[in-house]
């Protein structure tokens, strides 16, 4: 976190400020920066080769998005703790097998959010516990159908696209 930060707004996970940044070319500029606690996102693959795909209302983008389960890291949580909690809360699933697929940054021009991506398997049902501001429907879709939905433009959420591609590649060659 920058020492020379002027706070603008802190509301929930949004922490907007203006930071004076010395760039590698020697120029100093003031930049609007959103600081974020990070998040986790999960491709949960069942024994039938299907994943829970959420249809979630997202006001900021003006409607419904198709996404994998995901959410912000709470204080004291690791990315894996967050992934386990979000999978249970949003999709009503618990996984016994977890593989870390990687990490992405979402909007590096003005936000430091990093999302850790996971593949979860060996799933069992659990009770969903949606937050008060979450409006989510869940459908089970074959992984390959989800990939086709990306090609058709039905899935355009960046974390979902990245995670689905990484999961498919991991499943082809688990290293």
pLDDT in tens, 86-108: 999 999 999 999 999 999 999 99
**pLDDT of res. 92:** 98
- Residue 98 and residue 18 share a domain: no
Is residue 174 scored above 90 in pLDDT? no
Is residue 1 scored above 60 in pLDDT? no
**Least confident interval from 12-16, 90-94, 111-115:** 12-16
- Residue 99 and residue 135 share a domain: yes
- Residue 127 and residue 44 share a domain: yes
Q: Which two tokens stand for residue 35?
A: 């600081």
- Residue 12 and residue 56 share a domain: no
Q: Is 54 exposed, middle or buried, given 0-12, 13-18 or 19+ CB atoms closer than 10 A?
A: buried
Is residue 2 scored above 60 in pLDDT? no
What's the pLDDT tens digit per position in 30-73? 999 999 999 999 999 999 999 999 999 999 999 999 999 999 99
The answer to whether the pTM exceeds 0.85 is yes
Which residues, at least 6 apart from 122, have a Cβ–Cβ distance to it below 8 Å? 95, 96, 97
Domain ranges, residue 127: 39-104+113-172
- Residue 159 and residue 118 share a domain: yes
- Residue 120 and residue 62 share a domain: yes
- Residue 159 and residue 121 share a domain: yes
- Residue 97 and residue 17 share a domain: no
- Residue 125 and residue 87 share a domain: yes
């Amino acid at each position: 976190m920058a020492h020379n930060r002027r706070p603008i707004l802190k509301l929930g996970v949004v922490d907007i400020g203006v930071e004076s940044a010395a760039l590698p070319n020697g120029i100093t500029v003031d930049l609007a920066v959103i600081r974020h606690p990070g998040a986790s996102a999960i491709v949960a693959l069942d024994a039938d080769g299907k994943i829970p795909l959420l249809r979630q209302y997202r006001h900021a983008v003006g409607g419904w998005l198709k996404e994998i389960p995901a959410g912000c890291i709470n204080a004291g949580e690791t990315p894996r703790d967050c992934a386990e909690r979000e999978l249970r809360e949003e999709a009503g699933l618990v996984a016994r097998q977890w593989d870390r697929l990687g990490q992405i940054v979402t909007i590096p021009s003005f936000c430091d959010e990093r999302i850790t991506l996971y593949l979860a398997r060996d799933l069992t049902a659990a009770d969903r516990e949606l937050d008060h501001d979450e409006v989510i429907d869940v459908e089970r879709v074959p992984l390959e159908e989800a990939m086709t939905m990306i090609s058709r433009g039905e899935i355009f959420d960046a974390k979902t696209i990245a995670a689905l591609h990484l999961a498919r590649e991991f499943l082809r060659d688990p290293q």
